[in-house]
Amino acid sequence: MPLFDLPLDRLRDYAPDVAEPADFDEFWSATLKEAAAHPVLGDVRRVRTDLPLLDSWDVTFAGFGGDPVRAWYTRPAGVDTPLPAVVEYVGYGRGRGLPHERLTWPAAGYAHLLMDARGQGGQYGSGGDTPDPHGGALGGPWPATRGILDPHDYYYRRLITDAVRAVDAARALPGVDGRVVATGNSQGGGVALAVAGLVPDLAALITTAPLLCDLQRAIEITDAPPYGEIVNFLAVHREAEDAVRRTLAYVDGISFARRAVAPAHFGTGLRDNVCPPRGVFAAHNHYGAANGHPERPTREIHAYPFNHHEGGEAYQVRRQLTWLSALLHGDRTA
């Protein structure tokens, strides 16, 4: 993929005005209040992984509408002291898979909760275990378009609510010291960014190539999925553009970023047409702008000029580990 977006010097200053619905805060406050009426932690069951250095549990917690959401909880074996928790959200089309697949964070000494994505898991990876019982609203067949004609019906209202509840679930699990970090790549990065805007006491945000950023522009400059699924929907439902754009305004990562207060670490590939870099930079540049504090939260971004949606991969993960260790432990020896 050749370079198609703004040059890096312009991306560093790219901070578009994003029109927010007048009831944006009320919409999310009411949504989360409704979800919080359900006790968060359900079943927590130890599972065998044949990895003697790690312990894992199969967790069920109450997400949107009280629906059961599955997750894997993993932590270093034999460590009795409470640990910070890293809550991780998965990419588009992926489910939580198997408990031994995502081991970077527990291997680094953190408690780790990997949340399943409701109604996903059938496109790649090792599957998912969480159905989406609310997926019948009008819209296309894929998550990006399910219920897209009304923000109350939209798939990402449910998934983002699940993600906030996953933070509550992590804090309720044994062996977590109360500090929670939200992280993810692509869809997972966009969901983690939303969590940062909705959870005021998050310890940190680590997001790479976040989906759902600068949405109004994204559907105009790329037709790669999942944005391409919205484009295809509008190509058929030509009269639905106003309704679709209204719905997307309730889940734009820039609006969440403006409300965030936690320290943040971003990454993007400059040739990424799946999650265009302008959206990532826009979220980074707006981050913390509306939090009411005199100083913006600490944030940094790393761009990879010759990479597509894979971004920095292991190089970026190394940077994340070092950054988080310095933030939470005051050192740079991750």
Enter the tokens of residue 33: 């209040």
Residues serving a catalytic function are: 186, 272, 309
Burial class (CB in 10 A: 0-12, 13-18, 19+), 98: middle
End-to-end CA distance of the chain: 33
Pairing relation of β-strands 111-115 and 176-185?
A: unpaired
> Distance between alpha carbon 216 and the CA centroid of its chain, in Å?
19
Contacts 24+ apart (CB under 8 A), 143-146: 143/92, 143/117, 143/119, 143/226, 144/92, 144/225, 144/226, 144/227, 144/229, 144/230, 145/229, 145/230, 145/233, 146/119
| 160 close to 94: Cβ distance less than 8 angstroms | no
- Residue 328: which residues within 8 A CB-CB, separation 6 or more? 84, 179, 181, 203, 204
Residue of 196, 212, 331 lying closest to 265 (CA atoms):
196
> Distance between alpha carbon 105 and the CA centroid of its chain, in Å?
16
